[in-house]
Amino acid sequence: MNISEAIRTRRSIGKVTQDDIPVKQLEQILEAGTWAPNHRMTEPWRFFVLRGEGRKVLGEALADVALASAADPESPEAAAAAESARTKPMRAPVIITVAVTPKEHEKVIELEEYGAVFAAIQNMLLEAHGLGLGAIWRTGEPTYHAKMNEHFGLGNNDKVLGFIYVGVPVEGQQPVGKRKSFEELTVWIDEEGPLVK
């Protein structure tokens, strides 16, 4: 599969089997992430590979966030929300938690560090697709909660940016892709002069 085909046929695949994923394939996915562009070669990405019982680290983090976010953490509703959150990581055999650790340097722009890690995530999704695996990049409010940093041993300036759930796709799980035409979202600026007068 060439890169053009990979970009256009990649989909977010949430339904996967519990079949084990070979470590070699996971290493390929991780290495693909490290080839993302990053200004000043800061390499601000950090990866945590959760497999088997290791997925419970994320489950406990999600449960803690659910309780911390509840109006009444002692209520039965909060307990139910925490238990539901605790089981979510079991949806895939492997989860790669991706975080950014921005470099503290006067010439480093923090936003560019985030951009580099987002590019790394796209590389990883494309690599998983090229290997015939299903993957989905999951985020949401709990991702960015301070308790998530605690569970992954990250510092105050670091941030979890998402979880890549990886597995063998359940048969028939290839959603149809839809995008707006680039023409609707593009302005060509050439010799006509400034866009705004």
Distance CA 161, CA 167 (A): 20
HSE (side-chain half, CA atoms, 13 Å) at 106? 0
- 69 appears as a binding residue in the annotation: no
DSSP state of 152: T
In the chain, count of helices (H) and strands (E)? 6, 4
Distance CA 176, CA 163 (A): 23
Give Cβ neighbours of residue 163 (< 8 Å, ≥ 6 apart). Answer: 58, 89, 95, 96, 97, 98, 137, 138, 139, 143
- 35 appears as a binding residue in the annotation: no
Distance CA 3, CA 20 (A): 26
Distance CA 125, CA 164 (A): 8
Alpha carbon dihedral 61, 64, 65, 66, in 10-degree steps, equals: 120
- 12 appears as a binding residue in the annotation: yes
- 139 appears as a binding residue in the annotation: yes
- 55 appears as a binding residue in the annotation: no
Output the known binding site.
Answer: 10-12, 39, 137-139
Output the known binding site for FMN.
Answer: 10-12, 39, 137-139
